[in-house]
Structure 1
Amino acid sequence: MEVTRCMISFILTSLLLFFIAHLSLAPSTARNDRSYRNLAARDGLPSAVFAEIRPKFAYFISGSKGDLRRIQRTLLSLYHPSNFYLLHLDREASAAERFQLSEFVAGVEIFARADNVRIVGKPNLVTYRGPTMLANTLHGMSMLLRVRSWDWFINLSASDYPLITQDDLISAFEDMPRNLNFIEHTSNLGWKVNKRVKPIIIDPGLYELEKSEILWLPKQRSMPTAFRLFTGSAWMVLSRSFVEYCLLGWDNLPRTLLMYYTNFVSSPEGYFQTLICNSKEFKNSTVNHDLHYIAWDNPPRQHPLYLGVKDHRKLIYSHAPFARKFMVDDPELDKIDREMLHRHKGKFTYGGWCNPDGERENPCSTFVAGNGTMLRPGPGSRRLKALLTRLISRRSIQNSQCK
């Protein structure tokens, strides 16, 4: 009997210890809020594993006719071996421009070694007032999901430009929960009710080879009752999990909204906002900021104002990692290169991955294996961290989520 009691006591004690250990190791939402960097340091992870913990970004950079040089410059300013880059020159661009872009990418040795720069082979026709821009963004998302593991999707146009280095961006995002979606949104539609919601349009770009104006139908529609409409910026930083939901849609909401926004003016300014804010799973993952500095007319028009040297201090004090839009080779871009990116003309933005023993004015011309694990963040990282800290503070994030 004594032996039996001892065995029963041993088994019960073992089960209790198992459940205690299991509960302590179980994932929780609190763990998502902890610093990945601190977790790596605590667990003594080697640098290779530490690099895997660091966030990775998937960029979709789109341009049109005459944007070849801008896409090349933006790519060089944004490049990091750990990220992934998908480039798109739409169908309005000439075959010669697309060929030159292919030659440019193929001619950069680092791109080939890192295998992280691709070009959309079959270009899409994009009419910026219709749904073709939305279709183009979803196409970019689907291609990026197939090629590599990454944490956040960022869509940019050729007229966008970074205000911080990629080392700054990666460093600032190390402490961010990977489920956050930085997407400007509001349910206060204002003038957009009559100018965006009620009109019904048809975009010939969906079925024709040549770009033409959208067609306006004489009848108008009422406000939807099956879902609540939101609007905001077409430029976003979206989590991988939400991107997967946009494309795979384990409920029918993504497809229903996609059909609704097919006949909607400027659908990229509403589709993703309405989808995320009507989704039970993702509506509490939003941060109401697109991480861009953009200057608008009052009231805002179809396109924002062009930025220049006069806006330089505003760009810095915005703490944003990106800005738009800029004219081709605007002097402000050279100023950003010199003072914020420390980038030489026609070269990569300097980062920890570059070879410190390389050329003085082009240390990133060669790639040393293992250097991708190193970061050299600067003032841009501190500015962005300050912005992110403010945006995800408890009061701020509760007040900014889908209202």
Structure 2
Amino acid sequence: MRVCYLIQSHKNLEQIYRLVSTIKKSSPDSLVILSHNSSGSDLDIARLNDMSGVQVFFGPGGRGDFSIVQGYFDAINYLFSQNINFDWLINLSGQDYPTQPLSQIEKFLATTHYDGFLEYFQVFSQESHWSLREGHTRYCYKYTKNQLLGKIPEWTKELLTPIKTVNYIQPFFRINLAYGMVGIKNHTPFHENFICYGGSFFCTLSRKCIEYVYDFYKSNPEIIIYYRNVCVSDESFIQTILINSRLFNLCNDNKFYFDFSGSRHGRPRYLTTHDYPSLAQSHIHFARKFDINQDRKILDMLDSRILATSQVSSCNANSS
């Protein structure tokens, strides 16, 4: 069995190199696809060429728009166009990290009866993890990037928060300071047989799930056009396509740990050594997000856990 790890990154180069290295040490036969937004930082390809099974792409990045979804499907297109063998695809950001040996995760995937692991919920319902207003604001408006809003520094956005009051007093347009976007009320493609689902972008999907979403992506241009113009399409597109198909046995658990307590603008807080007991739980496969400049020790602690088993396995293989 072979797992493909797709990493979409944009900053903290040392952390990116470390993540790729840890994955390859813990799972030597895996394939790593690194999709890097070079506008944030320049990647040193030479540091990655020494590792086999690592493919690097460069592409545009962005928050809130379709670019991250496009990068996901560009990677899938590469896998299928090159006839690359894989059984599961796990997507990560450059600020994510495994929390246990990949051999254990891959053994779990080899024996599971599920076809995929992802968080999902109906967006326009009481079960939604977001408010109904948030769901409508994201997916019932057609958005465009606003150059003026996009150039506003983060600290200035806090001062401009009162501007968002306009979103609460009329239904015709929305201003999103976090993503620098303006939206106009729009029709949606959803109905009782095609429900809008939401959830975390980060998931673990079997090859047959990937084949289905890729075929859907190529065959339904009107849905793609719709999702290209909403806000935060990455937190709805894959869920909506897979759940509405009713073809797969999907576990409503993406096996990720993240903590949004005290967070702002939809970003989970950075994890530290204090979070290690939570990260070490056996049902957690990955966590986000980390910053090596804020707390390097937590990655050292995770590496000790991840690589210890890999090193033992390597020693056993060499002695047999």
Instruction: Please indicate the TM-score interval, normalised by the length of the shorter structure.
Output: 0.7 to 0.9
Change beyond 3 A, Cα 1:349–1:328? farther
- Asked if residue 350 in structure 1 is aligned to residue 316 in structure 2, the reply is no
The equivalent of 1:126 in structure 2 is 61
Q: How many residues are paired up?
A: 277
Cα deviation, residue 328, structure 1: 1.8
Question: Which deviations, in whole Å up to 9, do the C-alpha atoms of 1:102-151 show, x marking residues without a partner?
Answer: 1012234xx2xxxx11111xx21111111111111111122123352111
- Asked if residue 311 in structure 1 is aligned to residue 264 in structure 2, the reply is no
Which TM-score applies when normalising by structure 1? Answer: 0.62
The equivalent of 1:61 in structure 2 is 7
The equivalent of 1:322 in structure 2 is 286
Determine if contact 1:131/1:203 at 8 Å carries over to the other structure.
Answer: no
SS in structure 2 at match of 1:174: helix
The equivalent of 2:225 in structure 1 is 259
SS in structure 1 at match of 2:311: coil
1-structure distance, mates of 2:291, 2:18 = 12
Counting only pairs closer than 5 Å after superposition, residues 281-296 of structure 1 correspond to structure 2 as: 281-282=247-248, 285-296=249-260
Cα deviation, residue 175, structure 1: 1.4
Question: Which deviations, in whole Å up to 9, do the C-alpha atoms of 1:161-201 show, x marking residues without a partner?
Answer: 11111221222223113x61111100144343233122321
1-structure distance, mates of 2:218, 2:40 = 37
Q: Which moved more, 1:71-80 or 1:215-224?
A: 215-224
Change beyond 3 A, Cα 1:263–1:251? closer
1-structure distance, mates of 2:144, 2:302 = 40
- Specify the code of the residue in structure 1 equivalent to 2:112: M
2-structure distance, mates of 1:169, 1:351 = 16
Cα deviation, residue 355, structure 1: 5.1
1-structure distance, mates of 2:271, 2:282 = 13
Identity over aligned residues, as a percent?
Answer: 21
- Specify which structure has the bigger relative contact order, considering alpha-carbon pairs within 8 angstroms and separated by 6 or more residues: 2
Determine if contact 2:256/2:286 at 8 Å carries over to the other structure.
Answer: yes
Change beyond 3 A, Cα 1:194–1:174? closer
- Asked if residue 202 in structure 1 is aligned to residue 144 in structure 2, the reply is yes
| 1:141 alignment partner, one of 76, 82, 95 | 76
The equivalent of 1:273 in structure 2 is 239
1-structure distance, mates of 2:237, 2:83 = 25
The equivalent of 1:181 in structure 2 is 116
SS in structure 2 at match of 1:85: strand
Higher strand share: 2
Change beyond 3 A, Cα 1:172–1:318? closer
Determine if contact 2:90/2:203 at 8 Å carries over to the other structure.
Answer: yes
Change beyond 3 A, Cα 1:173–1:224? closer
Q: Which moved more, 1:152-161 or 1:221-230?
A: 221-230
The equivalent of 1:239 in structure 2 is 206
The equivalent of 1:153 in structure 2 is 89
Counting only pairs closer than 5 Å after superposition, residues 78-157 of structure 1 correspond to structure 2 as: 78-79=23-24, 80-94=27-41, 97-98=42-43, 100=44, 102-108=45-51, 111=52, 116-120=53-57, 123-145=58-80, 146-157=82-93
Determine if contact 2:146/2:182 at 8 Å carries over to the other structure.
Answer: no
- Specify the code of the residue in structure 2 equivalent to 1:176: T
Which protein has the larger Cα radius of gyration, Structure 1 or Structure 2? 1
Question: Which deviations, in whole Å up to 9, do the C-alpha atoms of 1:380-403 show, x marking residues without a partner?
Answer: xxxxxxxxxxxxxxxxxxxxxxxx
Change beyond 3 A, Cα 1:59–1:147? farther
Change beyond 3 A, Cα 1:249–1:351? farther
- Asked if residue 74 in structure 1 is aligned to residue 19 in structure 2, the reply is yes
Determine if contact 1:291/1:321 at 8 Å carries over to the other structure.
Answer: yes
Determine if contact 2:91/2:202 at 8 Å carries over to the other structure.
Answer: yes
Question: Which deviations, in whole Å up to 9, do the C-alpha atoms of 1:293-349 show, x marking residues without a partner?
Answer: 1111378741111111111111123621111101125221112122x2245xxxx95
Question: Which deviations, in whole Å up to 9, do the C-alpha atoms of 1:229-267 show, x marking residues without a partner?
Answer: 000011010111111122223994x54432221111110
Q: Which moved more, 1:307-316 or 1:223-232?
A: 223-232
2-structure distance, mates of 1:293, 1:213 = 24
2-structure distance, mates of 1:82, 1:241 = 20
Cα deviation, residue 203, structure 1: 4.4
- Specify the code of the residue in structure 2 equivalent to 1:237: T
Change beyond 3 A, Cα 1:86–1:223? closer
Change beyond 3 A, Cα 1:350–1:301? farther
The equivalent of 2:299 in structure 1 is 333
Determine if contact 1:183/1:233 at 8 Å carries over to the other structure.
Answer: yes
The equivalent of 1:45 in structure 2 is none
